[in-house]
Chain A
Amino acid sequence: MTSHANNMPLEYKTQQSQMNILGFWVFLGAEIVLFSTLFASYFVLEHNTAGGPTGQDIFILKDVLIETFLLLTSSFTCGLAIHSMRSHHKTGLMVWTIVTLLLGAGFLYMEINEFIHYVHEGASIQTSGFTAAFFTLLGTHGAHVTFGIFWISLLLIQLARRGITEKTASKFFIASLYWHFLDVVWIFIFTFVYLKGMVM
């Protein structure tokens, strides 16, 4: 990459921001490995239902699809937020980020309801190897979304006070990487936990 520093987006302007972004990619690499261990446990344990319900018994396609579309759309609006940021459009960045967080909150609301529904169906985290691995994997993802909502809410306060600067731009960009990453994890949960669970 030979492009001159002036051609770089604001979030790459300082050496420190570049290092922060690189460091965050390394962190995401570690997150991939973290989630892979949870997926591995799930795949090993998914058939060990110990007489409790199977995935096929409890998964509801409609609710899972709503969750998926909420998260996919939030990933899109998060991209639009960064697009606005690169056009130095503070209001755009704020509005799209707030939309992203609302969609994320909607996802969490659906997921918590889903968990409550499963517990009523007799599938709590203690029921079987399957439910233990399922709730650990899904719960870790949900906890990441929850953390992201708090983190990005705090960034919004900083943005309102300081505007789009080299520092806030780099922070928002890093948060956007985190948010898109959670969507990537969800794609694999949707495919290999829900769809596979309902088909097999």
Chain B
Amino acid sequence: MSTKTNHFPWNHLIGFVLSIALTLLAVFVAFNTDFSKTVIVWVIGILAIFQALIQLFMFMHVTEGKEGMINVVNMVYSIFLALVIVFGSIWVLTSGHAAMH
């Protein structure tokens, strides 16, 4: 939070290395393991969420500033809406499609 930021940007370097590692791990899990497809999608999905959190906290400093708490609540609410939209749409449209046959 202080203006004394002349030190080496370790946070960013660690975040970057972790992002690359998580990306390569996701590729490895997707193409070089014998897990079932469902397990693969779950694992790479969780890796993606980790990577998004790294961006949010290590690069975007979501908790920073006077409104840090508001930012977090705003992000959590937006992610909640996103999940409702994505899973709700899949649920309604696939079950509706199935009901027509």
Interface residues of A (CB under 8 A from B): 1, 3, 7-10, 12, 18, 21-22, 25-26, 28-30, 32-33, 35-37, 39-41, 43-44, 61, 65, 68-69, 72-73, 75-76, 78-80, 83, 86-87, 176-177, 180-181, 183-184, 187-188, 190-192, 195-196, 198-200
Contacts and interface: CB of A to CB of B under 8 A. Distances in A.
Contacts of B86: 36, 39-40, 43
Given A36-B82, A83-B12, A198-B30, A29 B74 contact: yes
Interface string B71-98: 1001101110111011011100110000
Interface string B42-64: 00110110011001101110100
Contacts of A21: 65, 67
Contact of B2 (A7, A29, A176): A7
**Majority secondary structure of chain B interface residues (helix, strand, loop or mixed):** helix
Contacts, number: 152
A69 to B, nearest CB: 7
Contacts of B5: 9, 83, 86-87
A72 B16 contact: yes
B93 A44 contact: yes
B89 A9 contact: no
Given A29-B74, A65-B27, A192 B67 contact: no
Contacts of A10: 3
A26 B74 contact: yes
Contacts of A44: 89-90, 93-94
9 contacts: A8-B3, A22-B67, A25-B67, A36-B85, A40-B89, A73-B16, A177-B60, A180-B59, A187-B48
A199 B39 CA distance: 11
A75 B56 CA distance: 11
Interface of B: 1-3, 5-6, 9, 12-13, 15-16, 19-20, 23, 26-27, 30-31, 37, 40-41, 44-45, 47-48, 51-52, 55-56, 58-60, 62, 65-71, 74-75, 77-79, 81-83, 85-86, 88-90, 93-94
A200 B15 contact: no
A18 to B, nearest CB: 6
B79 A192 contact: no
Closest 5 CB pairs of A and B: A36-B82, A29-B78, A40-B89, A76-B16, A191-B48
Q: Which has the most chain B C-beta neighbours within 10 Å: A40, A65, A86?
A: A40
Nearest to A21: B65
B3 A199 contact: no
A36 B82 CA distance: 5
